[in-house]
Each structure stands twice: as C-alpha cells, then as structure tokens.
C-alpha cells in the first residue's frame, strides 16, 4: 500500500471510530436515564467487543480476496473466474479502515477502563 492509501485508511478508521464511540456514549446515556443506574461501566467492555468484531470482519474481507479462498470459491461454484493480485489488493484496501478502527477502539477500551471504573 502506498502512503496515500495508508493515510486514507487511517482517516476513514478515525471517522468510523468517532461515530462508533459517539453512538455508544449516546446509547449508554439513554440506557442510564431509562434504567436509572450508571451504565457507563459497560462502555469499555462494549468498545472491546466492537473492536473484536471489527477485527473478525476485516479478516473475513481480507481472506475473501486471498488465493486459496478464491480457488475454493471457484471450485464450489464451478466457475473459472480466477484470482488476481489486483482483486486481493482491493480486498485489503476494504479491510484496512476496519483494522484501523479496531485498533483505535481496542486502545481506547484500555485507556478508558480506569477512569470509568
């Protein structure tokens, strides 16, 4: 990946992480008001679980463009689409923002664990 692609992945990942963190905070605030108790101690656990799901999703996207999965898909569907390095790079570029988002959420879940405890 070139520098522009890396910067684009970091930019997209930061935006995704901001959206996820804001929606989590808003949802937990609404839950705290509705239930009448503090739900923010689940914030770090929620961000950690979301980071794990994003890592899994990014892995699935990346593996979907790999040579072995492409051969398996062609064998199962009885097609001869073939595999190209360009297709694999496209799969990696789709997975990169999700990986960056997962890293940001993973780090923030540990950073916020102490103040919200």
Domain ranges for the chain, please list them. Answer: 3-111
- Who wins on pLDDT, 62 or 73? 62
Which residues, in sequence order, are CB contacts of 71 under 8 Å at separation 6+?
83
Query: Would you call 96 exposed, middle or buried from its count of C-beta atoms within 10 A (0-12, 13-18, 19+)?
Result: buried
* 115 pLDDT more than 80: no
Q: What is the pLDDT of residue 50?
A: 95
* Predicted TM-score of the model (pTM): 0.83
């Amino acid at each position: 990946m070139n520098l522009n692609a890396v910067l684009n992945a970091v930019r997209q990942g930061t935006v995704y992480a901001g959206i996820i963190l804001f929606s989590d905070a808003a949802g937990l605030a609404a839950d705290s008001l509705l239930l009448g108790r503090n739900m923010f101690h689940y914030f770090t656990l929620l961000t950690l679980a979301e980071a794990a799901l994003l890592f899994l999703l990014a892995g699935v996207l990346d593996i979907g463009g790999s040579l072995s999965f492409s051969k398996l898909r062609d064998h199962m569907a009885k097609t001869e689409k073939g595999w190209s390095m360009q297709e694999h790079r496209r799969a990696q570029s789709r997975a990169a923002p999700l990986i960056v988002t997962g890293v940001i959420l993973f780090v923030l879940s540990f950073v916020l664990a102490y103040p919200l405890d």
